[in-house]
Amino acid sequence: MAEPLLAIRGLRKRFGGLLATDQVDLDVSEGETYAVIGPNGAGKTTLIGQLAGDLRPDDGAIRFAGRDVTRLDAPLRSRLGLARSFQITSIFPDFSALANVALAVQAHTGGSFRFWRPAAGEPSLTRPARAVLESVGLGGRADVLAANLAHGEQRQLEIAMALATKPRLLLLDEPVAGMGLEESQRMVRFLGTLKGHVTIVLVEHDMDAVFTLADRISVMVYGRIIATGTAEEVRGNEEVRRAYLGEDAPPPC
């Protein structure tokens, strides 16, 4: 079998006395949507941070697309095809929605030591940016200042920025957090359309979203992966029900 797109081995990260990532091994194959679930403080965001290159692991290795990226910084990993969204919305608030996405395009098209031509007048940046905005449903909001977008729209914008980098692996940290029911359903439908085109690692508390989207699920508790399997397998797992879903979790449907 071909090497997985993402392979994590023996990953460990300690914050003082707290083991936030404890001997994590994980393989994600190309095209797969892989969910990581777990209670608050389990270490999910810490794991994403190490994959994206914002946090240095204390131990272990991360291989991405056939190369060891453990020591590479975040911009380099982005340029290799790793993109992320943040749990706490992270956009450029004082730029228009279009400029936010155009910046992501710009970061992936050669150098930026160009001093004279207005970036906003470069079709090679704005055309793909518009297309991506369109695809996430923000086509009509291109010229709105990102700070003035509704919360749900800002989440969409973040996904658009990630997609504009043409990633091979998309790391999503709670993409529907704080969204209304309808909004979150729309987001889940949209993420569903990405399935197969781009590999996704999804961290999410919304179980409907997870069970709709994920091909495989890992359950993380206190920094450790305690179970991995398909949606059915994870829902049926006794240890998971005790540790996370709770005894009175709804029966698998």
Ligand X SMILES: Nc1ncnc2c1ncn2[C@@H]1O[C@H](COP(=O)(O)OP(=O)(O)OP(=O)(O)O)[C@@H](O)[C@H]1O
Q: Which residues bind other proteins (CB under 8 A)?
A: 52, 54, 73-76, 78-79, 83-84, 86, 90-96, 99, 102-104, 106-108, 112-120, 122, 145, 161-162, 164-165
178 near ligand X, judged by CB under 6 A: no
Nearest to 128 by CA among 160, 80, 167, 89: 160
23 near Mg ion, judged by CB under 5 A: no
1, 2, 17, 40: residue in contact with ligand X (rule CB under 6 A): 40
4, 43, 53, 81: residue in contact with ligand X (rule CB under 6 A): 43
Look at residue 40 and give the partner it binds from ligand X, Mg ion, other proteins, none, a contact being a CB closer than 5 to 8 Å depending on partner kind: ligand X
Nearest to 210 by CA among 225, 232, 182, 226: 232
Minimum CB distance to other proteins, residue 145 (Å): 6
Region of 50-58, 85-93, 116-124, 242-250 interacting with Mg ion (CB under 5 A):
85-93
Give the distance, in angstroms, between the CA of residue 149 and the centroid of all CA atoms in the same chain. Answer: 21
Per the structure block, which two tokens stand in for 252? Answer: 């698998």
Using a 10 angstrom Cβ sphere, with 0-12 exposed, 13-18 middle and 19 or more buried, the burial of residue 240 is buried
C-beta neighbour count of 186 within 10 angstroms? 17
89 near Mg ion, judged by CB under 5 A: no
Q: Which amino acid is at 67?
A: R
85 near Mg ion, judged by CB under 5 A: no
Look at residue 43 and give the partner it binds from Mg ion, other proteins, ligand X, none, a contact being a CB closer than 5 to 8 Å depending on partner kind: ligand X
Look at residue 95 and give the partner it binds from other proteins, ligand X, Mg ion, none, a contact being a CB closer than 5 to 8 Å depending on partner kind: other proteins
Minimum CB distance to ligand X, residue 209 (Å): 14
Please state, in angstroms and rounded to a whole number, the distance separating the CA atoms of residues 46 and 245.
Answer: 21
23, 29, 87, 212: residue in contact with Mg ion (rule CB under 5 A): 87
Contacts of 40 (CB under 8 A, 6+ apart): none
User: The dihedral of CA 249, 250, 251, 253: what is its sign?
Assistant: negative
Report in angstroms the alpha-carbon separations of 57 from 6, 46, 70, 73, 163.
16, 9, 8, 12, 26
89 near ligand X, judged by CB under 6 A: no
38 near ligand X, judged by CB under 6 A: yes
Binding region for ligand X (CB under 6 A): 15, 18, 20, 38, 40-46, 87
Binding region for Mg ion (CB under 5 A): 44-45, 87
